[in-house]
Amino acid sequence: YHRRVFFFFFFFFAPLFSQMDPLARLAQQFTLTDATLVSIAEHMAREMERGLANAPSSLRMFPSYLYTRPTGKESGPFIAIDLGGTNLRLVKCDLDAGKVVGTFQHKQAIPEAIMQGTATQLFDFIAQAAREFFKQNHIEGVPHVGFTFSFPVKQSGLATGTLQNWTKGFSASGCVGQDVVGLLQAALHRSGVQATVDALVNDTVGTLVARVFEDPACIAGLIVGTGSNIAVWEPISTIRTVSLDQISPTAKEMIINTEWGDFDKACAVLPITPYDRAVDQASPNPGHYRFEKLISGMYLGELARHILLHLMYCDVFPELSRLRQPNTLPAASVAAIAEDSTFGLSGVRSIIEALGGNPMGTDLHRMQRVCRLVICRAAKLVAAGLFCVVRRGANDMHDVSIAVDGSVFEMVPLFRSELQSSLSRLLGHPIVRLTLTKDGSGKGAALVASLATKSRL
């Protein structure tokens, strides 16, 4: 009898209970304990060590070949060309005695047709923009250029590097496997631009260098924007991916580009949900950059959209026809929803109405709850990564600085506060300075060019 009652309950009533509070189940999936974060950090440390040892690892730990810190004597004008995401930036940076005394920059959007076209189209677009920038700013002679290229590149020197694969929606043909400095230098020549590309710099490396000029205690450069990555100082003695004849015998450390967006591609420790799998499968590179897809601005909007679609299916959220189309809920909207503190959540209401809905009060709070869960999980995952980095790289736990750039960190207060509090808690409450290094990737590339020119690295 009791067995019959159990099966009757299970088959007829359990499905009803499973649909009673899908938001509670969602919160359970997206709420990460400190123990989980520590486990992620420990796995990341092991992957870093394997990558540095040239063993199989999800962290490629690319050497930057930059092992010179500022001396305080760097002077002159230097140029940065920054290809980091959906925008191209050109920066003129004037140095005097190691100090930035003036900058001027220009930014323009990169058309999708160029991002997904050919190598010639992409690099000619960059070269033509550089030609106009030099002309408008009366840059004469043969300027020294640092090239920030924020994609996975395996460098074999400070001014040479082979593109491993595209990310962030780029897919221009004829680039993978090629030296991107050579492609840029050839395009500059075709456009009649007299310039020398002295350094190839990942945006994280540039952000780190830009901060080191002002704060020698800076141990890492973090980007959390369209994509995510981090660069760190590593002792030369730990790096097995370069031969000693490629570096100065006096070098003691080198900046390493971790490419942490691809961390744990096997998903051994990352908290992957069905929504994350849906985002991954719809991305340009399924199965790759799983960590980046949990934390970066390019994917947070799609992640929230897939969650809301599930809630619509469960009949606990109103039908929003436009939400069924990909990329209709950008990360900026997710942030605005999460941060909305207006009376009656009027900001959330306007976003839902723009998506074709007529929300009730409970709908507003549910949508905000979803967006806050997505952002807070992202912040905690970044905190786990920084916990790993600080434990490995900080000599003095009471004087630690990390340079940070990117729209998610800059524009989303909830993300910043959750990141800082989670990191402090994991470390036992010492304060790590997370310093916004605005446009550090542009200035940093120019500063690296100054170091390369001065020391002939």
Nearest to 283 by CA among 323, 324, 326, 322: 326
Asked if pLDDT for residue 2 goes beyond 60, the answer is no
Integer angstrom CA distances of residue 119 from 160, 163, 182: 17, 12, 11
Known catalytic residues are 168, 203
Asked if pLDDT for residue 181 goes beyond 90, the answer is yes
Nearest to 170 by CA among 127, 91, 226: 226
pLDDT in tens, 249-273: 888 899 999 999 999 999 999 999 9
Distance (Å, whole) CA 86 – CA 169: 9
Q: What is the mean pLDDT of the chain?
A: 90
CA torsion angle for 283, 287, 288, 292 (degrees, to 10)?
70
Q: What is the pLDDT of residue 132?
A: 94
Q: What is the pLDDT of residue 362?
A: 93
The secondary structure of residue 152, as a DSSP letter, is: -
445 touches 146 (CB < 8 A): yes
Sign of CA dihedral 229, 232, 236, 238: negative
Distance (Å, whole) CA 146 – CA 156: 16
297 touches 379 (CB < 8 A): no
- 3-class state of residue 155 by DSSP: strand
Q: What are phi and psi of 76, to 5 degrees?
A: 115, 170
H or E stretch at 354? helix 346-354
Q: Which amino acid is at 187?
A: A
435 touches 196 (CB < 8 A): no
Is pLDDT larger for residue 356 or for residue 307? 307
Distance (Å, whole) CA 296 – CA 382: 10
451 touches 457 (CB < 8 A): yes
Q: Which two tokens stand for residue 397?
A: 């736990």
Distance (Å, whole) CA 187 – CA 126: 8
What pTM did the predictor assign?
0.86
End-to-end CA distance of the chain: 82
Give the mean pLDDT of 43-56: 97
Across 97-101, 187-191, 411-415, least confident range: 97-101
Q: Which amino acid is at 60?
A: R
Asked if pLDDT for residue 8 goes beyond 70, the answer is no
Distance (Å, whole) CA 95 – CA 361: 55
Residue found by looking up tokens 């009730």 in the block: 360
DSSP string, 33-63: -HHHHHHHHHHHHHHHHHHHTTSS-S---EE
Per-residue pLDDT band at 454 (split at 50, 70, 90): low
H or E stretch at 109? strand 99-109
Neighbours of 287 (CB within 10 A): 11
pLDDT in tens, 98-114: 788 888 889 999 999 99
Give the chain's count of helices (H) and strands (E). Answer: 17, 13
Range picked from 66-75, 239-248, 295-304 for highest mean pLDDT: 295-304
Q: What is the pLDDT of residue 6?
A: 36
Nearest to 293 by CA among 344, 341, 326, 331: 331
Share of the chain above pLDDT 70, in %: 94
Q: Which two tokens stand for residue 93?
A: 């940076």
